[in-house]
Structure 1
């Protein structure tokens, strides 16, 4: 069973592969399909970090509060890019530039999390708690928002109330628009 940090790192590897898939896609429609999956996966990942991981880190490692706040700010930037991408249609001339900007931001964020944040979490929280958190993350993925919500709260308790409503709305939109499921 993967613990929380292993699960989040696995998500990072999947997103890195999606960026490669975007670059090798043979058509605008294929690229758009990759973009829609990127939007879905990054939205779920960010929401779960905001709801479960960052609050735990702030509570158990108070000296990391500033770093957690920085990660939350980075998430806001990512969600704004994702929201803009979400409004585009296949073949839009802005898509390639926005995906490149998203990749730069995601690469920076991943480097920070995997370089300092996750190792500190592992040292401080312990294996058993990280395994429990990993299970919560796995369960949470089924109900997490699938679209970016840059204007929604990004910290509990307001996030805990807004996220389920956003997730239900997102899933209805996803079905109506026949978005790929992951």
Structure 2
């Protein structure tokens, strides 16, 4: 898959996780889905910020403005993810935060898929998108698995902070006995 197909696949997976949350039969199942949402959206956002958005800044005529708008949307999502990550199983605030997250993610995905991605596809060669897709797929194995709303979201600071955050997240995941990715 090329880079944009990988990101679109992630979007479909997250949409399925929202459906799974609403069909879960217990607080334990809902909490497991929340942990998957936190992990998958954290990885997705980190990789977009590190690999896709810098490219878009370069190739789109209004790249800085558009990417800054997407980064603002990421900040809202990360803040909600952090709040969800801090909750315990069965917390009454979970449903409201998941609903807020779903609204924010749905709007962000719509903007990306209808506006942003077609513009990037038109500006970047298929060969480069294919190569970036391979890089993103490999980078998922070492991307941060928790939200870091206060971490840098632009390279080069992101390039330095990302691996440290990822290592810390994976240690926390192991201690919390969360599934590995």
TM-score computed with the length of structure 2 as normaliser: 0.99
What is the match of residue 141 of structure 1?
Answer: 140
What is the match of residue 18 of structure 1?
Answer: 17
Matched position secondary structure for 2:90: coil
What is the match of residue 105 of structure 1?
Answer: 104
After TM superposition, give the deviation of residue 172 of structure 1 in Å. 0.3
What is the match of residue 61 of structure 1?
Answer: 60
Matched position secondary structure for 1:62: coil
CA distances 1:74-130 after superposition (whole Å, capped 9, x unpaired): 001100000000000000000000000000000000000000100001111021110
What is the match of residue 158 of structure 1?
Answer: 157
Poorly superposed stretches of 4+, deviation over 4 Å: none
Matched position secondary structure for 1:147: coil
Contact 1:33 1:180 in 2 (8 A): no
Matched position secondary structure for 2:62: helix
- 2: distance between equivalents of 1:114 and 1:126? 18
Q: Structure 1 stretches of 5 or more lacking a match?
A: none
Contact 1:11 1:45 in 2 (8 A): yes
What is the match of residue 46 of structure 2?
Answer: 47
- 2: distance between equivalents of 1:181 and 1:122? 32
Matched position secondary structure for 1:142: helix
Aligned residue pairs total 181
Q: CA RMSD in A?
A: 0.7
What is the match of residue 95 of structure 1?
Answer: 94
